[in-house]
Amino acid sequence: MKTQLGTYDLQNRLTGRFEPAGLFEGIDESNLRSYEQDWKIAFETRLPGDATTAERLAANAQDARWDWRRLAEIRGNPLLYQMYAIECAARTQGIMLVKKGGSFSRHPDHPKADLIYVDRLATAPWNRRGFVGEPIYRGVGQVLLSAAVNLAYEEDLDGRIGLHSLSGADAFYRDVIGMTDFGPDDENYGMRYFEMSSAQARVFLEPKEGDGA
Amino acid sequence: MADKKTMTLNLSEPEMAALETLCERKGMSKTTLLRQALRLYQSMDERLERGEKVFFEDPRSKEKAELMVL
């Protein structure tokens, strides 16, 4: 089931203006069609089908092979998984899949405490530096992560979230979002593991200067 | 979040003590702990239904012990 959680302002970098974007819990066919008709075509236009790992990294498209329709099918158990989408200008601007159980904190503030695990998160290719010369919307990742943190509060998990990052997004999670970097995880393809502790979650959700402009 | 329903749970004294100990150790309410336990159980049950096995691994010896699910 798809439910609108709220409306957020995304800054259009090309015009400098803020535009209303809908944040949804659950995705539907329109999101999957936008992924298949807008995102996939953008990936296929920019990258050859046999692109190497290095080429995908250079294009900021390490997730180009993620199949969101397939993910929605195999991780469709609503008790364990939840998907989110953000829509603006009649297109899906970002999608996120989170796991609500069976993941535990590595943070020294609350070792082994349950948390929300962000299984996948992607912003549309036209919003990415490195993929296009002039990315369009700013803030898609932050809005989706705020949904994950809010879910962690709703689930009585005190805002805790964790994730493994694609290498091209390491700096985003560490420097922009302020998550703790626990380094490469040998048990997850050497991807770096990041966590937002309860204390970091409170800071993350605090209104920042410039919010609400 | 989906609509919620309320239920009464009858537990023996040792079961309630175990629940309360876990809640204290994990810093969770009883509802949250039982919800998380249900997710874990269902997730394991799905894997077992697919014919997979669930193991615990000793981080030092790498020895594996199969988890038996009731």
The DSSP line for A74-143 is HT--TTTEEEEEEEETTEEEEEEEEE-SS-B---TTSTT-B-EEEEEEEE-GGG-BTTBSS--EE-HHHH
Q: A52-67: per-residue pLDDT in tens?
A: 999 999 999 999 999 9
Query: Does the model's ipTM exceed the 0.95 cut?
Result: no
Q: Percentage of chain A with pLDDT > 70?
A: 98
Average pLDDT value for residue range A112-121: 95
Rounded (5°) CA angle A194-B28-A83: 50
Number of DSSP helices (H) and strands (E) in chain A, helices first: 7, 9
Of A14-23, A139-148, B59-68, the one with minimum mean pLDDT is B59-68
Task: Identify all chain A residues contacting B2, using CB atoms and an 8 Å cutoff.
Answer: 1, 78
CB B69 within 8 A of CB B48: yes
Model pLDDT, residue A213: 40
Q: B4-58: per-residue pLDDT in tens?
A: 899 999 999 999 999 999 999 888 999 999 999 999 888 888 888 889 888 888 8
Task: Identify all chain A residues contacting B38, using CB atoms and an 8 Å cutoff.
Answer: 79, 101
- Written as six digits, the tokens of B29 are 């309410």
Q: Smallest Cβ distance to A102: which of B1, B32, B39?
A: B39
Selected for mutation to probe chain B from A24, A154, A156 (highest B CB count within 10 Å) is A156
pLDDT for residue A212 is more than 60: no
CA distance A120 to A109: 25
Average pLDDT value for residue range A169-177: 96
Average pLDDT value for residue range A140-161: 96
Average pLDDT value for residue range A94-103: 94
Q: A12-37: per-residue pLDDT in tens?
A: 999 999 999 999 999 999 999 999 99
